[in-house]
A and B are shown apart, each in its own frame.
Chain A
Amino acid sequence: MTTTTELTEDYLRRLDAVQPKNLPEDLDLFDEETATRGIRLNKAAYSLKDDEQRRLFADDEDRWMEQFGLTDEERDLVRRRDWIGLWRNGLSIYVMVKLSGVTDTALPEIGKQMRESGGKA
């Protein structure tokens, strides 16, 4: 069969290595799963690169959130500044940093929450 000759052991090993899958549960990645789940949150927080969006956030957080079709749960996570929850719902750390700016949250504060969260929910 063609497939056995084309799908060599070397190729399959390399394919396997591209997606880390044996990491401990508390070492999470930004990959297919998180990028898909988090697309709304990431779009929302990414908008905060723009000063006008930052002003809108400061003026009326709910109205700011309405632009991105966030789910009720996602809105709640933003309102509660639940950083570990936001991460688990697919907000990239680098986009999260933009949300930390408008909410005046220092990185160590985010870190404290992350560390205290224990294992994966």
Chain B
Amino acid sequence: MARVIGGIGASHAPSMEHVYDAGENVRGADEWQPLFGPFEQVAKWLEELQPDRLVVIYNDHMDEFFLSAYPTFALGVADEYPIADEGFGARPFPPLPGDARFGWHIARGLVADEFDPTICQELEVDHGVISPLPMVDFAEGEGGWKIPIVPLAVNVILHPLPTPRRCFKLGQALRRAILSYPEDLGVVVVGTGGLSHQLTGPRFGAVKEEWDREFMRILVEDPEPLCDLTHEELILRGGTESVEVVNWLAMRAALPGDAKPVVEAYYPHRIMGYGLQAYAVDGAAA
């Protein structure tokens, strides 16, 4: 049977793509080392853990889905996921490998648990997936992506949004779907987005360091009370676009309660509170 062997929470942002694409010198420079250094630690940890699959809970930024039909939850059931053109031409990465069979199983698992995602046999992924992923899962010069993914998209941009509690339950349902898969796969669940940022209106650029740190702490120690927060409260604490943290909440709910971070970093910089956590699961090491 499949196992959940770890979890990762990571911010996503076009800025991270620009820094990554600018090469090792920029990544290693003082300005970005507080973020990219810890990402390297996560990459090393992941290499030792050797997961067979990543389930990536993220949000699209109107690069695959549009207002004509905007899904609250959407699940990939494809064998590959091309990189979306976000308006600047697609980043030059090969399509991410998928696992359609595993994706379909997760679809059935979610539906059995009364979650009904839009099921996608074709899905282009945007920076919600591929701004953090190359840092942990891309072998430069060695032919590319290492671990097949299953993407799970959550609507965090067109209100009404699924509540934090709903997203927590989604993570629990995802866990059951993974555990019930008959193949012996080690799975790491990834949640991307946040932390605090405000991209619209006169408060553009506001970063809320205190709340971000508190959020990360609560997520480790006792995440369930975060379900009581409304989106209004999340917005007041972290900014309009910070509601993406529900993706982290879903990721956390897919892990055992006693999972502990082995890598943790927070870097408030420019217009973002960048966060990173990698959770180890007891007894998961093969």
Contacts and interface: CB of A to CB of B under 8 A. Distances in A.
B89 interface: yes
A52 to B, nearest CB: 11
Contact of A93 (B66, B163, B199, B203): B199
Interface stretch (A4-12, A59-67, A71-79, A113-121): A113-121
Contact of A27 (B61, B203, B271): B203
A46 B201 contact: no
Contacts of A17: 163, 230-232
B200 interface: yes
Contact of B159 (A19, A22, A107, A119): A19
Which bucket holds chain A's interface residue count?
35 or more
Contacts of A120: 201
B202 A118 contact: yes
Contact of B67 (A29, A39, A99, A114): A39
Contacts of B86: 49, 97-98, 101
A30 B159 contact: yes
B210 interface: no
Contact of B241 (A26, A50, A51, A93): A93
B85 A114 contact: no
Contacts of A43: 67
Given A20-B231, A35-B158, A117 B202 contact: yes
A30 B236 contact: no
B283 interface: no
A87 B199 CA distance: 10
Given A19-B159, A20-B159, A119-B202, A46 B62 contact: yes
Given A18-B161, A27-B198, A49-B87, 14 more contacts: A18-B159, A19-B159, A20-B231, A27-B236, A28-B200, A42-B62, A49-B85, A51-B85, A51-B89, A87-B201, A92-B67, A111-B204, A115-B202, A117-B202
Interface of B: 14, 61-63, 66-67, 84-89, 157-161, 163, 198-205, 230-232, 235-236, 239-241, 271
